[in-house]
Amino acid sequence: MTLAIALPVSAAKREFDFAPADHQKIARIVYDTLGILLPEGKSQLVYGRVAPRVRACGLTSVSAYLAVIEQDEDERNRMLDALTTNHTSFFREAHHFEDFVERMWPTLSQRLASGGRVRLWSAACSSGEEPYTWLMAALGHDRSAAQRLLKGDLRMLATDVSPSVLETARAGRYSADTLRTVPAKLRATWVSDRLVVDQALREAISFRPLNLLGPWPMKGRFDAICCRNVMIYFDEPTKAKLQARLADHLETGGMLYIGHSERLSPEVAARFDCVGRTAYLKVRA
């Protein structure tokens, strides 16, 4: 997950009053709820995201809006959604999917063919490009072989805190420009002429809302987890806590993939071997 960059809005041109105390209050709500840091340097971004909600509520200041969300949980969630709008792409950091296909997929596909189960998790999946990429890369362009595997016990969980991006992900409909990074053979196999991801892939993925800092309902462990480009917004204690939870939900011998600028905390790193670029094999429980 990557927060999109908002264009600066100078204080002189602001439609609504927005005091430093308003930013601090919003930053505290976001940190306490989602663990995301919004320092003073992001005040223009915050204003750009919150202003449409102030306008939609018919208010004249951000402080008045903050008073509303103290009482209105639905509006509070709409603000959080606005502040966590994501930017992603198909086949972003493609080396992770290449590693998975080479390192994990031969064993996992054989397990599926033998009647076993495979569980994958795309954490902070944004608008769906990552989980769809993951399955496309694994299943390849041999549709008949892929269909046999999809009939097995293969399930991918894809989660995000933003309801709006999950709606896009479930629909699986993307623009031609968004789909341009999908290799031609895979696009021909898995994307319709109407630019919709194939129903077989959509049905293999369960898109669910999940706050990574909140309770997790999942009971079993996963064979591989992608949690990429979200921890860059967290402080070190939050990163360490999240990474430990991810490790606990990963099978020994499973893979954890994180973003190119992210690193495991020392305590969690002791449970893994780094086997590629931000690709970690769990070797200790």
Residue set of the binding site: 86, 88, 92, 130, 160, 211-212, 228-229
155 an active-site residue?
A: no
How many Å apart are CA 26 and CA 20, to the nearest integer? 10
32 is an active site residue: no
- CB proximity list for 248: less than 8 A, separation 6 or greater: none
Burial of 265: CB neighbours in 10 Å, binned 0-12, 13-18, 19+: middle
Q: Are 216 and 123 in contact (CB under 8 A)?
A: no
8-state DSSP, 254: E
SS3 for 133?
helix
Q: What is the CA radius of gyration of the chain?
A: 20
List of residues 6+ apart from 205 with CB closer than 8 A: 122, 128, 131, 132, 135, 156, 157, 158, 169
Q: What CA–CA distances, in Å, run from 230 to 21, 28, 114, 120, 211?
A: 26, 18, 35, 18, 12
φ, ψ (nearest 5 deg) of residue 58: 70, 30
| Residues in binding site for S-adenosyl-L-methionine | 86, 88, 92, 130, 160, 211-212, 228-229
- Of 22, 99, 160, 223, the catalytic one is 160
| Distance in angstroms (rounded) separating the CA atoms of residues 99 and 261 | 18
Most distant CA pair in the chain, distance: 66
Q: Using alpha carbons only, what angle is made at residue 279 by residues 100 and 158, rounded to the nearest 5 degrees?
A: 65
Of 22, 49, 53, 223, which one is the catalytic site residue?
49
CB burial of 2-19 (b: ≥16 within 10 Å; e: otherwise) equals: bbeeeeebeeeeeebebe
As annotated, the active-site residues are 49, 160
